[in-house]
């Protein structure tokens, strides 16, 4: 395992500034000089947050790696606490440009344009917390994530996500995963209300359907469409529109 380096040794320039927050404000020609950047109380050389002018954005979290000289960001929305952007870079000036765009309320696509290391999670900003739009946004993020996976069974998992999304009865539910098992809820985060079977993409290319997590009591199938069809047949009747879970 890599050893954890002394932050002052790995980041001597940050230590010279006194904190990651101060170093960020000095980067990228001072693009954050007039922006509130908050250092971490417990690890000021490793963590900082940059606020946003938009009430539906949490402060951008900036963190330094402990084993290598790199920085990561994570920008979430406050209602569900789910990330809208993330990313890793070895250029602190890029972090500063991304943080300034996040602070100023730039569109998510524009944040990536000014700082190409930024990764969009596929979620949309939904300031009014409309449950239907939150559901659509989560499906969008899940489909993007499935296509970006690097695991050997990525194609199997992606086929499951796409087959479930095509089915109207499942697309109308809020999707989430637990240990890569696809599940559904009649409410959004932060308080999920689990409904219906669990769908699993197995490493051998098959698909399982069960009433509980990791269960296969409803069968194992060779195609994602077969598994999805069984899951739909076992949905409770009378399900209404997704509601806010909070």
Q: Are residues 26 and 100 in the same domain?
A: yes
Each residue's pLDDT tens digit, 1-33: 455 679 999 999 999 999 999 999 999 889 999
CA-based angle 115:120:126, to the nearest 5? Answer: 120
29 phi and psi angles, rounded to 5 deg: 55, 35
In a domain, 126, yes or no: no
In this prediction the pTM is 0.92
The residue range of the domain holding 157 is 131-245
- Cα dihedral across residues 135, 139, 145, 149: positive or negative: positive
The strand pairing partners of 37, in sequence order, are 50
Determine contact, residues 227/209, Cβ cutoff 8 Å: yes
- Side-chain half-sphere CA neighbours of 102 within 13 A: 33
CB–CB of 65/71 below 8 Å? yes
| Residue 134 neighbours by CB under 8 Å, 6+ apart | 79, 80, 126, 174, 188, 242, 244
Tokens of 64: 């330094």
> Are 152 and 109 in a shared domain?
no
Q: What is the pLDDT of residues 193-234, one digit of tens each?
A: 999 999 999 999 999 999 987 778 999 999 999 999 999 999
- Boundary of a domain, candidates 50, 85, 120: 120
Give how many domains the chain has, as a whole number.
2
Quick check: 88 and 102 in contact, CB under 8 A? no
User: How far is Cα 122 from Cα 62, in angstroms, rounded to an integer?
Assistant: 20
Mean pLDDT across 123-145: 97
8 A C-beta contact, residue 141 and residue 124: no
Residues 221 and 168 in one domain: yes
Q: Are residues 147 and 76 part of one domain?
A: no
**Of the residues 55, 87, 120, the one at which a domain ends:** 120
Q: For 60-119, how does the pLDDT look when each residue is reduced to its tens digit (9 = 90+)?
A: 999 999 999 999 999 999 999 999 999 999 999 999 999 999 999 999 999 999 999 999
Q: What's the whole-number average pLDDT of the chain? A: 95
Task: Judge whether 92 lies within some domain.
Answer: yes
């Amino acid at each position: 395992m890599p050893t954890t380096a002394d932050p002052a040794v790995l980041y001597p320039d940050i230590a010279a500034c006194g904190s990651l927050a101060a170093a960020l404000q000095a980067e990228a020609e001072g693009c954050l000089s007039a922006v509130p950047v908050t250092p971490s109380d417990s690890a000021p050389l490793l963590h900082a947050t940059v606020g946003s002018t938009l009430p539906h954005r949490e402060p951008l979290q900036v963190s330094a790696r402990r084993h290598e000289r790199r920085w990561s960001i994570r920008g979430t929305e406050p209602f569900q606490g789910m990330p809208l952007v993330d990313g890793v870079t070895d250029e602190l000036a890029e972090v500063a440009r991304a943080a300034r765009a996040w602070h100023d309320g730039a569109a998510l696509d524009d944040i990536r344009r000014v700082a190409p290391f930024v990764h969009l999670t596929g979620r949309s900003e939904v300031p009014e917390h409309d449950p239907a739009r939150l559901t659509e946004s989560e499906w969008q993020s899940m489909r993007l994530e499935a296509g970006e996976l690097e695991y050997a069974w990525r194609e199997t998992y992606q086929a499951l996500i796409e087959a479930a999304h095509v089915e109207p009865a499942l697309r109308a539910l809020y999707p989430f995963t637990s240990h890569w098992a696809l599940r559904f809820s009649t409410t959004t985060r932060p308080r999920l209300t689990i409904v219906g079977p669990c769908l699993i993409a197995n490493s051998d290319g098959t698909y399982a359907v069960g009433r509980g997590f990791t269960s296969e009591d409803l069968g194992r199938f060779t195609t994602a469409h077969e598994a999805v069809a069984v899951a739909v047949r076992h949905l409770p009747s009378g399900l209404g529109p997704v509601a806010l879970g909070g």
